[in-house]
């Protein structure tokens, strides 16, 4: 993974703070011997990492998520929990032919555009400066299981090129109606400030 997208190693001071939080918040309420027994258990470690991922976006400029992806599934199956908002045959074709990506796992980096971007070239340059390339839609759809609150709040996007045209897949959230939806945007060459995009390390 490109070092520009890593948040750095955990320091001894951070580990000490985590230990203090666990001691003050948990130990008075649980059995100490039982706690010692589960510390090294893989299931406990997995749940702890999952809990961290769910809330890590609250204090960082970027969100880092590692997901397991089945690339053999159809787009309709992968996106089955999303409401599709596809307006014409071309958008339906783009949905069917979306890039699936490669590998069993994919490291995702979600980041916010802090100023208006006026071209696809400028957007690609922004990705490259962060050591990223566009993430696969398959992986981004899977990431909602890991950081659902982030998806509810920000509705990230992923993009690719089709016949030299920029295609955006928007993972939206209709809070009033209570459902998540997918929307495809074609031909747009300006990207507003505050938009979140998904990348993966080069």
* Nearest Cα residue to 180 out of 50, 84, 115: 84
**Any idea where the domains of the chain sit in the sequence?**
7-57, 59-201
**What is the C-alpha separation between 150 and 12, in angstroms, rounded?**
28
pTM to 2 decimal places? 0.68
Residue recorded with tokens 């011997």:
33
Check if the beta carbon of residue 171 is closer than 8 Å to that of residue 81: no
pLDDT in tens, 28-86: 666 767 777 777 777 777 777 666 655 554 455 788 888 999 999 999 898 887 777 88
What is the Cα Rg of the chain in Å? 19
pLDDT(104) > 90: yes
Q: What percent of the chain has pLDDT over 90?
A: 19
């Amino acid at each position: 993974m490109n070092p520009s997208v890593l948040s750095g190693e955990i320091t001894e001071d951070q580990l000490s703070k985590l230990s203090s939080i666990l001691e003050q918040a948990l130990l008075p309420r649980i059995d100490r011997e039982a706690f010692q027994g589960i510390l090294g258990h893989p299931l406990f470690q997995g749940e702890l990492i999952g809990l961290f991922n769910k809330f890590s976006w609250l204090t960082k400029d970027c969100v880092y998520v590692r997901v397991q992806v089945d690339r053999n599934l159809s787009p309709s199956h992968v996106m089955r929990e999303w409401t599709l908002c596809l307006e014409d045959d071309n958008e339906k074709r783009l949905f069917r032919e979306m890039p699936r990506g490669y590998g069993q796992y994919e490291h995702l980096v979600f980041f916010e555009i802090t100023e208006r971007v006026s071209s696809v070239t400028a957007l690609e340059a922004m990705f490259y400066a962060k050591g990223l390339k566009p993430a696969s839609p398959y992986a981004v759809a899977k990431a909602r299981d890991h950081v659902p609150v982030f998806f509810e709040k920000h509705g990230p996007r992923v993009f690719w090129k089709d016949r030299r045209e920029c295609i955006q897949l928007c993972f939206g959230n209709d809070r009033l109606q209570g459902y998540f939806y997918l929307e495809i945007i074609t031909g747009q060459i300006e990207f507003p400030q505050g938009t979140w995009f998904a990348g993966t390390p080069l």
